[in-house]
Amino acid sequence: MLAFCYISSVAKRKMTNFDLFFYMFIFFLTIFLYYFFVITRNKKSSSQRKGYKLPPGSMGWPYIGETLQLYSQDPNIFFINRQRRYGEIFKTKILGCPCVMLASPEAARFVLVNQANLFKPTYPKSKETLIGQSALFFYQGNYHMHIRKLVQTSLNPEAIRNQIPHIEELAISALNSWAGGHVVNTYIEMKKYSFEVGILAIFGHLDAHLKDQLKKNYSIVDKGYNSFPTNLPGSPYRNAIQARKRLGKILSEVISERKEKKLIEKGLLSCFLNAKDEKGLVLSEDQIADNIIGVLFAAQDTTASVLTWILKYLHDNPKLLQSVKAEQKAICQSNEQENHGLTWTQTRKMPMTNKVVLETLRLASIISFTFREAVADVEYKGYLIPKGWKVMPLFRNIHHNPEFFPDPQKFDPSRFENVQKPNTFMPFGSGVHACPGNELAKLEILIMTHHLVTKFRWEVEGSNSGIQYGPFPVPVGGLPARFWKESTTST
């Protein structure tokens, strides 16, 4: 206020640009000093009243904290360096938010399982807007449990086992489209495949024109999801907002048609349409649409990233590739003799391939961490986690800890021949917010891998080292590669 009054008192005389800059500087300096001394003092006094201290660590610069340090380097280096310096619980500030990072299995379980009611899921408002505010992973309590139960019911083993022939068809079609030796972006192509599987699991059969409209608009939303949330005309975020509205209309059309014609289709949508909560209430169209889009977001990028890393790791380990091929070709030969495709039982009996999938999930750690927010002051191991602070269990740090996984940067599927220590391997999260679609994800990964190694060969194009984040980790450039059908190249 003092700075504002001072500027007002001199506004009657003509000011130069330097004057204006100087007075505005005084104004913002006053605001900063107010924030720094008053707000920070209140936070400190809160921790002192509780009798606990804040975790060790650095809050970095005022407001921006350590955001620049995080985004100017490999995020893994950022987290690992601070864990080495401060221990398995430390504080920082990212994008203006004070955060507590947790890098131990016990701490992750404390936040995600034991005291999950004290830590709510938290996402930037811009992302909630694009997915839909009724999506289950923005909630706790009865609504979350109701929606989660519906998703699990439609994606559990009993529900998805009959989808194997259709998923096989999608995998073979995708692989055939890559064959011929032209360079493809593996990650982008795997995203297309996982999107198709998601559509199948949600809608069952869907008319081609509606599917095309969903793909077109979802792609625009996907591009804008991680962009800077500015609503300027032509910006990726503005385009995504508009595409999200169109997605809502398309889904409303599908929902209305199925209600009117009483169409019977297996999948998540039918589960939503027939569901009632404990009060007998049905889901609204907006609730259904938000959760359908949420499931697509949760399923596509993560599964595509895992598949891309599997392809890379097998390419880089020829002996391992031969072992996986031998396992899968034995299944393939058996099915050719009996004239049928993959069965559910066979997907449960792929020990070598399954260990490759698990090791890929560990080493790549597609979900590096998750966001929660303390809904009250929480004490953990003598430290205070203040109400409103972000809390981040660091899955990647746990997965790469040599105490739990010796030589953690080595791709070694044999480590999964032994049972892992509790809470040291959490590729799908943990607790009530763990991924409810993990069985479907594992199934589509195994099916794609089966057909990839038995019917095709591939070569990675250019350098195959390095990782890019967008936000999920993928090999640099999406792993450009060339594919050929085995039958056309064997001699």
Q: Residue 257: its pLDDT value, please?
A: 87
Q: What is the pLDDT of residue 434?
A: 87
Q: What is the pLDDT of residue 154?
A: 92
SS (H, E, C) 59-93: CCECCCECHHHHHCCCHHHHHHHHHHHHCCEEEEE
Band of pLDDT at residue 36, cut at 50, 70 and 90: low
pLDDT of residue 20: 46
> What is the pLDDT confidence band of residue 488, given thresholds at 50, 70 and 90?
very low
pLDDT higher than threshold 70 for residue 47: no
Q: Are strands 97-102 and 183-185 parallel, antiparallel or unpaired?
A: unpaired
Res. 370: pLDDT tops 50: yes
In this model, does residue 38 exceed pLDDT 50? Answer: no
Give 308-355 pLDDT, tens digit per residue. 999 999 999 999 999 999 999 999 999 988 888 999 999 999 999 999
Residue 407 lies in domain: 51-124+368-422
Most confident of the ranges 18-32, 71-85, 295-309:
295-309
Answer yes or no: is pLDDT of 483 > 80: yes
Name every residue whose Cβ is closer than 8 Å to that of residue 271 and which is 6 or more positions away in sequence. 150, 151, 153, 154
To which residue do tokens 């019977």 refer? 264
Number of domains composing the chain: 1
Specify the pTM.
Answer: 0.85
Q: Which residues are annotated as a binding site?
A: 435
- Does residue 413 lie in a domain region? yes
Q: List, for residues 186-245, the tens digit of each pLDDT value.
A: 999 999 999 999 999 999 888 899 999 999 999 999 988 878 888 899 999 999 999 999
How much is the pLDDT for 280?
A: 85
Whether residue 61 lies inside any domain: the answer is yes
Q: What is the DSSP letter of 163?
A: G
In a domain, 103, yes or no: yes
Please indicate, yes or no, if residue 462 is contained in any of the structural domains: no
Nearest-CA neighbor of 391 among 402, 380, 406?
380
Average pLDDT over residues 81-109: 92
pLDDT at 386 over 80: yes
| 294 close to 136: Cβ distance less than 8 angstroms | yes
Cβ 441 vs Cβ 435: under 8 Å: yes
Structural domain contains residue 402: yes
Supply the pLDDT for residue 19: 46
Peptide bond into 480 cis (omega under 30): no
Q: Does residue 33 carry a pLDDT above 70?
A: no
- Position 30 scores a pLDDT of 54
Confidence bin at 98 (pLDDT 50/70/90) = very high
**What local confidence, expressed as pLDDT, does residue 25 receive?**
55
Q: How many CB atoms lie within 10 A of CB 337?
A: 8
Q: Is the pLDDT of residue 14 over 50?
A: no
Residue 29 lies in a domain: no
* All residues at 6 or more sequence positions from 181 whose CB lies less than 8 Å from its CB, including other chains: 482, 483, 484
| Binding residue ranges for heme | 435
- pLDDT-derived band at 462 (thresholds 50, 70, 90) equals confident
| More confident position, 355 or 366 | 355
Q: In this model, does residue 16 exceed pLDDT 70?
A: no
The stretch 248-272 carries a mean pLDDT of: 87
Q: Is residue 275 part of a domain?
A: no
Query: Averaged over 100-117, what is the pLDDT?
Result: 95
Q: What is the CATH number of the domain that holds 57?
A: 3.30.43.20
Please give the pLDDT value at position 31: 53
pLDDT value at residue 363: 96
Q: Round to whole Å and give the CA distance between 308 and 190.
A: 7
What is the chain's percent helix, strand, coil content, to nearest 5?
A: 60, 10, 30
- Out of 57-66, 78-87, 375-384, 452-461, which region has the weakest mean confidence (pLDDT)? 57-66
For residue 365, the SS3 value is coil
Mean pLDDT to the nearest integer, 138-149: 91
pLDDT at position 80 over 70: yes
Are residues 368 and 395 in contact, defined by beta-carbon separation less than 8 angstroms?
Answer: yes
- Mean pLDDT in residue range 410-433: 92
CA distance 77 to 89: 16
Q: Is 280 left (phi over 0), alpha (psi -120 to 50) or beta?
A: left
Does 390 reside within a domain?
yes
